Structure 1
Amino acid sequence: MSVLARAVREVQAAVESRRVTPAVRAKFQVVALLVREEHARVQGKQAGSQASRAERLKRLDGIATILAKTAVRDPALLALLAEDAVVSDAARSLKRDMLRAAGIEPDPEEAAPTEPATGSASTERRVVPRSVVTRKLANPFLAPDFSSVRPGRVGPRRLAGWELLNPLLSSFERADDRAPACMALPAPAPLRLPGSRKLMPHQAQLVAAAAAGHRTFLLADEPGLGKTAQALLAAEAANAYPLLVVVPSVVKTNWAREVGLWTPNRSATVVHGNGDTVDGFAHIVIVNYEVLDRHVGWFGDFGFRGMVVDEAHFIKNKTSQRSQHVLELSKRIRSRTARPLLMALTGTPLINDIEDFLAIWQFLGWIDETEPRAELMDSLEAAGLTPADPGFYSAARQCVIDLGIVRRRKVDVAADIPARRTADLPVELEEKVGRSIRAAERDLARRLVARYETALANRRSAVAVDASGIDHALVRKIATSEQKNASTTKAGENVFSMMRRIGQAKAGLAADYAAQLARSAGKVVFFAKHVDVMDVAEEAFARQGIRYASIRGDQTPVGRQRNIDAFVNDPEVAIAVCSLTAAGVGINLQVASNIVLAELSWTDAEQTQAIDRSHRIGQTEPVTAWRIIAAQTIDSRIAELIDKKAGLAARALDGSDEQVWSSADVQHEALVALLTDALSESSQERAVSRDGH
C-alpha cells in the first residue's frame, strides 16, 4: 500500500507541474492496474477481520480518487483507465519492479493480451446486405488489379538486422520546432468543380498531389481547413472507386452531404445498422466505426480501390476490435489493388503517446507489425545512414513525411480562408427520437392542412390559386394564426416546442463533436439556447474528462467573470459552455477559433453576435462556427431560412430597399414552408390516385 501511495503522489505532482512524460503515463497506468487487482484480491480474501479488510479497501479507494482527480487534469490519462487499454512493455516492466519493491514476487510474464478482430461474437453479427449480393452477381468477373505492381528491391540492405520502428518514432520526438511537418506538395492545378464551388489553395495542392500519382496521405490539417473536400476530390483525381469511408457516427450524414456538394456525379450510400438500405452499386460507401464489425466481411471482398479513415486517432489502440478491423480492411484492399488511395484524416495524430502513430502508419501501408514496408525501407536505405549515425533521425523523419504527411494550421493558411465562416454539420438523430420528432412534424403539418381546407371550404368568393392549386395568401393567414396561438394551443406540437425537442436530441451529438474539436484544435466555445441542452453537454464533457467553464444567465457577475477567466487563462479548461442569450454579447472569448452552435437561433444577428465573441480584436486565427443541423427535420428548413434572411438583411444594410428580417419572420416562413410542402404532397398524391383510376 505504501508503494502505491508513493507512486500515485509522484504521478499527481508530475501532472500538476505539467511534466507528463511517457514514464509518468506508464506509472499512472501501473498504479491503476495494481489498485484494480488489489481491490479484487481484498474483496475476495477470506482471511483477516472484516475491519482490516474495510480499512484496506478505504485506502485503495483513496488512491483511486487521487487517480481520478489527476486524470481530470490531463484527459489523455483517462484512456489508460479503460479495461482494454494497451499495456506497454515499459508499464509491464514497471509493474514487476513495483511488486518486488512491495515484497511480492510477480507472476511469470504473460504475453500481451490481444482482442481478436474476428471473434465468434463478431462473426455471428456479420451481415451481407441484399443489394451487395446483387452487385456481386452482376459483376462475376471482378478481379484484383495488379496493373501497377512495383518491383521489389533486390540485393543486400544496409539496414538489415536493425530495429527501426522505435528509431522512426524517436525521430519525431527529437524534432525541433523548425523541422518541417508537411510533405512537399505541387502547385495547385485548375479544377472543374460543380456549380460555383472553389477550393482554397492549400486544398488544391493535396488534390494535385493525388492527381500526380501520390496515393497515401496522413492528412492532419487543423479542423476548419476542409479535409473532407480534399479527400473526396483526391479520390476523384485518383479514380479510387469504389471508395470506403469509415467515420465517427456524428459526421456520417455530413460526409454524404459533402459527396453531393463536391462530387455530385458520384453516388454515395450510408450504412445504417445491418445495411438494409445500402446501395450495392454506389461509388462511395460510408460507414461508422460502431457498426464496422458487422460489415467487415463483405467490405473485404467488395473490390474497394480506396479507403478513407476520418478521425483516424480512433484506431490508435492496435489491440482494439475497431483498430484491427480497419487494419484488416486496409490489408485486404492493398492485396487486391496495387496502389490504392489510402487516407487517414485527423487533426490529432497523437493523443497519448508517440506510439499512436503506429496504427495509422500501418493502415497506410508504410509499416507492418515489426518493420517498415518496402517503400519506406527503400527511402531509408537511400539516405545511406543507420540509427547509429547522428544524422539518421532527421533523415528518417523526412522519409516518413515524404510518404504523405500533410499538416497545415489555420494560422499557416490564414490568407487562404475567410476570417469568419459558418459550416453546417448535419447529424442523424437517434432512431427512436428522430422518428418521434418527424411524426410530430407530420402531425403539425396535418393540423395546418386541415385548418387550410376548412377555411377554403367556407369561402364564398373566388379563390386565387397558382398552377399547383394552392392559395398562398390563405397559407400565410393560416401560418400567422398558428404563430399567434402557438403558446396556447393544446392540439399538439408547435414549431417552438419542436425546435426545443430537436435541440435536446442534438445535445449529445453536438457535445461529442465539440469534444473532438477540443482534442484536435484547442479551446472551443459551445453555444446553446436552452439550459437542459447545456446540462446534457456538460455531463458529456465530464464523462470524457474534459474540463469546461459554464457561462449562464443565472450566475452572479462575479461567478460569471470567474468562469470566463478560467476559460481564457487556464490551458486545462478546454470548452466554454455558453448560453446563446446570456453569453452572446459583452464577453471576449478570442482564445478560441472554433465555435459549436448546438441549437439554431431564430435570427442571423443572434448567431453572428455569438460568433463575434471569438471573432474580434485579438483573434489571430480565422474563426469557424460549426452549426449542428438535425437532418430530415424542420431544423434544416429553418437553417436555410435564416441564411436567406441574412442575405436580404445584408443587402438592406448595404443600401437596398429590402427590409431587415426579425425572428418572427423566420418562424412565420417556417410554418408557411411546412404547410406549402404538405399541400403540394397532398395534391401530388391526389393526382397519382386519379391517374391510377
Structure 2
Amino acid sequence: MGKRERSLLAESAGLHEAARGVLADHVRALEAVRAALAPIRAELVGRELESIPVSRLKDVTEGRLRLGALEAAGFGSVRAVYETSRYALRQLPGVGAQTADRALGAARQIARAVEETVSVRIDVDHPEPRTTALVIALRTLVEAGPELRRAVDAATRLDARLGELLPEARPAGGRLGMLLAGRQKRERALAALAALRELTADAGARDVRLLLAQASADLLRTPASELEAWVDFELRSPEYYSQLAEVSEHRSDVAAAEGFLPSEVAERVHAQELDDTRRRVSLRGYQDFGARFALAQRRVVLGDEMGLGKTVQAIAALAHLAADGHSHFLVVCPASVLINWTREIGARSTLRALPVHGAERLEAYEEWRERGGVAITTYDMLHSLPAPDAAVGPDPADVADGPVGPVGAGAKPGMLVVDEAHYVKNPDTRRSKAVAAWAGHCERVLFLTGTPMENRVQEFRTLVRYLQPALLPAIQHGTAAAGPHAFRKSVAPAYLRRNQRDVLSELPALVQVDEWEEFSAADREAYLRAVEDGNFMAMRRAAYADAEKSAKLGRLRELVAEAAGNDLKVVVFSYFKDVLGTVRQALGADRQAQATDQQAAGRLVFGPISGAVPAARRQRLVDDFTAAPGHAVLLCQIEAAGIGLNLQAASVVVLCEPQIKPTMEHQAVARAHRMGQVRPVQVHRLLATDSVDQRLLHLLKNKTRLFDAYARRSDTAEQNPDAVDISDSALARRIVEEEQLRLAKEAG
C-alpha cells in the first residue's frame, strides 16, 4: 500500500465532503423556504377554519362531543378551538378534561385536512413582507435551475456509497494499517478500494465534481434584493410555483394528475426512468408523469388541456431518448407553430433543432439525416420527404393505405411527435397518409392534441389506428357514453389527458405564450410596401392584409378552435379596428360553416368593442359575452376595452400584435386576469418574425427589467401609466428607419 492508494482515499474523501456539502446547502435552502412558507400557510389554514362552524367537530368525533359549553363560551368556529390551548379550554365552565381534549383533537384533525388542500398564491401586484420573504427564499432554488436536482441526486448517492466504502477502505491507506488488520478486514479494504477507484473514475467521466461545485455555488449566493426577486418571479413564476409545490410537498389530486389511469398502467409509467441530462427545464409533477407515459407506452396520444405544457413534455421525452443514445427525432406540426417548436427545443433542451420547411427542405432533410437532431416539418411538407425504410410497430396496412411519397433510406427517428394531431382525423387526406406512413416506421410515436377525445370517439379511433390498432375493438361509442373515467380506462394504454383545474392548483393564474409566425407571401408583400412608404401603422397590421393567406389569422383560428373544444371563452385584442373586422369575418365564417343555425353561429362572436361604441353598449356586449353558455369570442380594441371592463369570463386572451406601450397590454390582460377569475388565464401574443413586431419587442426589452419593475410599482406610475412608456412617434420613426435599412441590405 503506497502513495497511489492514499491519493485515491484522499480524492474519495474530498468527493464525499463535496457531496455532503451540497446536501447541507440544499437542506438550508429548503428550510429557508419552509420557514417563510409556514406563517403564510398558517394564515390560510386559519381563514379556512374560521369559515367552518364549531358544530362540525361533532362529525370528526362521530357525535360523541358535547359542544353546548363551548358554544355558550362564544366559540363559533373551528379556528377558535384550534387556536386555544388545552389548559384554557379546561378552564371554561362546563368543559371537562375529556371534552377539551376531544374538541382540540378534532380541531387539529380538521386543520391537518385543510392544510393538505390550501394553495399558496403569490400576489405580485400586492407584495407584502411574508410573501416577499418567500419569493426571496424560492429564488435561490430557482436560480440553481434543473441542474440542482441532478446534483442533489448525485450527492445523495455518493454520500450513501462513500459513507460505506471509506471506513472499509481506510486500512489500505498505509502498510501498517494493512499489517494490523486481520485477513477479513484486509480483503474488505481491498474490495472497497477497488470500488472507490471505479466510483471516482465514473464521477470524473461524468463531471460530477463540477456539478456539485456549481450547485453549492448557486445555493450559497447572496440572497436577492426584494426588487430583484419580484422581477424574477414575474418572469419565471411557473418555476417558482414548481419549487414551492416540491418544497411544501403539496400535491394535486394524484389520480387526476395521472389522468385516472388504471393502476397497472400508472405503475408501469412510474417505473419508467426519465433522464434529464439533456433537458434545460424543470417539470411539474404531472408533466414528469406525462413524459414518462410517452416513453413507457411508446405509441400514445397526450391530450392535455391547452396551457398544460404538452410541448415541454414532448421535449422531455426527446431529451431522455437523446441521453439514451438516440440521435434522430422528427416533429410534425402546423406551419403556424413551426417557429415555436424550433425556439422551444433550443430553450428547453440541448438538442439541435432543424426546421425542414420551404424551398430548401430537402437540403435540410439531408443535413438532418447526416448530423441528427430534431427535424421539424409541417403537415404539408411531410409527404415530400423520403420516409425511413425500416418498418417498426404496427403493420402499415393497419394504419393507412400504404406509404406515401418516396420511401428511401432516411434515418429512422427515435421518436415521431405529431402536434395538433386532430389534423389527421380524416384518414383519407394526404397529410393523414403521410403521418401514417412515418408512424408505421417508428417505434415511438407521440400525438399531441388539446381537443378532448372522449367527445369525438370516431376521431380518436382514427388516431389510435395509427398507434395501437389492437385497442380499436375496445373503443366504441358506448364507452364514451359511460363517462370520461370509463372511456379513459378503456383507452389507457394509448391516451393521457389532464385538465387545468385538476393540476394547476399552485400555478399562477396567468400563462403567457409568444406565438411566432412567419409571414405568408401575401403578408410579406404588404409589409414591404408599408416599409417602403414609411407607414408604421401599416407595417404593424400588414400580417392581416390578406385574410385568406394570413399566417397570424391561421394561428388565431387554431387557438380559438382549441378553446372551443374545451368550452373556454376567448377575448381578442387589437389596436386596430379594421384588424378586428378582419378577425370577426374570419371567425364568423368559420362558425357559420360549422353551425346548422346561422343565427346561433353569429352569437358566438361578440363585438368589436371600440372607441365608437358607447360605454353602456360596451358593458352590454361584455354581459352578453359573459352570459353566453360555453365557448364564445369577444373582440376588443385594446385602447377602448383595456380599461374599466371586467372580462373575467374569458380564460384565453389573444393579442393580435404587440403594443407600443407595455402598460396597454398589461391593463388589457388585467381585464381577464383579476379578482374572481376561477381559471388560469392563457395569454397568446401573435408575432411575426423579421418584422416590426420583433423590432418593437427588442427595443422595449432593452429597458432594464429592474427599472421597469420600479417604475411600474411607483406611485407615479400607478397614477400615470404613460410615465414609463417610450414616445410613440420616436419609437415609430426609429423602427421604420431600421426596417428600411435592414431590408435594403437584404435586397442588396
Deviation of the 1:343 alpha carbon = 0.9
Deviation of the 1:553 alpha carbon = 2.5
Distance in structure 2 (CA, Å) of the matches to 1:577 and 1:683: 38
**C-alpha offsets along residues 233-255 of structure 1, whole Å, 9 cap, x if unaligned?**
21121235422222122212211
Distance in structure 2 (CA, Å) of the matches to 1:594 and 1:395: 29
Deviation of the 1:345 alpha carbon = 0.7
Aligned to 2:140: none
**Would you say 1:500 and 2:541 are equivalent positions?**
yes
Distance in structure 1 (CA, Å) of the matches to 2:746 and 2:518: 28
Matches within 5 A, 1:173-322: 181-182=260-261, 184=266, 186=270, 191-192=276-277, 197-210=281-294, 213-239=296-322, 241-272=327-358, 275=361, 278-282=364-368, 283-295=373-385, 296-298=404-406, 301-302=409-410, 303-322=412-431
2:644 to 563, 586, 591: 586
Aligned to 1:420: 510
Greater CA drift, 418-427 or 197-206: 197-206
Matches within 5 A, 1:422-441: 422-437=512-527, 441=531
Distance in structure 2 (CA, Å) of the matches to 1:300 and 1:366: 25
CA contact (8 A) 1:292 1:322 kept: yes
CA contact (8 A) 1:526 1:595 kept: yes
**Would you say 1:626 and 2:684 are equivalent positions?**
yes
Which amino acid counterpart does residue 330 of structure 1 have in structure 2?
Answer: A
Aligned to 2:467: 364
CA contact (8 A) 1:511 1:541 kept: no
Distance in structure 1 (CA, Å) of the matches to 2:307 and 2:569: 14
Greater CA drift, 421-430 or 563-572: 563-572
Deviation of the 1:675 alpha carbon = 5.9
Matches within 5 A, 1:19-58: none
Aligned to 1:517: 562
Distance in structure 2 (CA, Å) of the matches to 1:679 and 1:564: 44
Deviation of the 1:596 alpha carbon = 0.8
Secondary structure (helix, strand or coil) at the match of 2:367 reads coil
Distance in structure 2 (CA, Å) of the matches to 1:597 and 1:256: 22
**C-alpha offsets along residues 182-226 of structure 1, whole Å, 9 cap, x if unaligned?**
56353996835666x443332233234456x44233111111111
Distance in structure 1 (CA, Å) of the matches to 2:435 and 2:418: 8
CA contact (8 A) 1:323 1:359 kept: no
- The TM-score, its normalising length taken from structure 1, stands at 0.55
Distance in structure 1 (CA, Å) of the matches to 2:672 and 2:426: 35
Distance in structure 1 (CA, Å) of the matches to 2:517 and 2:285: 28
CA contact (8 A) 2:321 2:414 kept: no
Closer, same or farther: CA 194–351 of 1 in aligned 2, 3 Å: closer
Deviation of the 1:360 alpha carbon = 1.4
Deviation of the 1:650 alpha carbon = 1.1
**Would you say 1:548 and 2:605 are equivalent positions?**
yes
Which amino acid counterpart does residue 710 of structure 2 have in structure 1?
Answer: R
Distance in structure 2 (CA, Å) of the matches to 1:233 and 1:649: 33
Distance in structure 1 (CA, Å) of the matches to 2:504 and 2:630: 26
Secondary structure (helix, strand or coil) at the match of 1:527 reads strand
CA contact (8 A) 2:580 2:635 kept: yes
What CA RMSD, in Å, does the superposition of the two structures yield over aligned residues?
4.1
CA contact (8 A) 1:247 1:310 kept: yes
Deviation of the 1:314 alpha carbon = 1.6
Closer, same or farther: CA 684–276 of 1 in aligned 2, 3 Å: closer
2:581 to 535, 538, 541: 535
Give the gaps of 5 or more residues in structure 1.
Answer: 1-176, 334-339, 377-386, 444-491, 687-693
Deviation of the 1:629 alpha carbon = 0.6
Closer, same or farther: CA 677–514 of 1 in aligned 2, 3 Å: closer
**C-alpha offsets along residues 124-154 of structure 1, whole Å, 9 cap, x if unaligned?**
xxxxxxxxxxxxxxxxxxxxxxxxxxxxxxx
Which amino acid counterpart does residue 343 of structure 1 have in structure 2?
Answer: L
Deviation of the 1:353 alpha carbon = 3.2
Closer, same or farther: CA 596–566 of 1 in aligned 2, 3 Å: same
**C-alpha offsets along residues 615-659 of structure 1, whole Å, 9 cap, x if unaligned?**
111111221200011012121121233345483321334569999
Give the gaps of 5 or more residues in structure 2.
Answer: 1-255, 386-403, 592-600
2:445 to 335, 342, 346: 342
Closer, same or farther: CA 539–393 of 1 in aligned 2, 3 Å: closer
Secondary structure (helix, strand or coil) at the match of 1:596 reads strand
Deviation of the 1:556 alpha carbon = 3.4
2:655 to 586, 592, 597: 597
Aligned to 2:432: 323
Distance in structure 2 (CA, Å) of the matches to 1:198 and 1:247: 24
Distance in structure 1 (CA, Å) of the matches to 2:574 and 2:484: 48
Deviation of the 1:358 alpha carbon = 0.6
Closer, same or farther: CA 681–502 of 1 in aligned 2, 3 Å: closer
Distance in structure 2 (CA, Å) of the matches to 1:243 and 1:269: 12
Percent identity over the alignment is 27
Structure with greater proportional helix content: 2
Which amino acid counterpart does residue 626 of structure 1 have in structure 2?
Answer: H
Secondary structure (helix, strand or coil) at the match of 1:398 reads helix
Aligned to 1:81: none
Aligned to 1:174: none
Closer, same or farther: CA 617–596 of 1 in aligned 2, 3 Å: same
Secondary structure (helix, strand or coil) at the match of 1:624 reads strand
Closer, same or farther: CA 614–643 of 1 in aligned 2, 3 Å: farther
Distance in structure 1 (CA, Å) of the matches to 2:677 and 2:485: 34
Distance in structure 2 (CA, Å) of the matches to 1:361 and 1:236: 25
Closer, same or farther: CA 350–662 of 1 in aligned 2, 3 Å: same
CA contact (8 A) 2:354 2:364 kept: no
Aligned to 1:636: 694
Distance in structure 2 (CA, Å) of the matches to 1:305 and 1:588: 48
Distance in structure 2 (CA, Å) of the matches to 1:232 and 1:494: 41
Which amino acid counterpart does residue 538 of structure 2 have in structure 1?
Answer: S
Which amino acid counterpart does residue 405 of structure 2 have in structure 1?
Answer: G
- The TM-score, its normalising length taken from structure 2, stands at 0.52
**C-alpha offsets along residues 42-90 of structure 1, whole Å, 9 cap, x if unaligned?**
xxxxxxxxxxxxxxxxxxxxxxxxxxxxxxxxxxxxxxxxxxxxxxxxx
Matches within 5 A, 1:367-378: 367=470, 371=473
CA contact (8 A) 1:306 1:341 kept: yes
CA contact (8 A) 2:541 2:579 kept: no
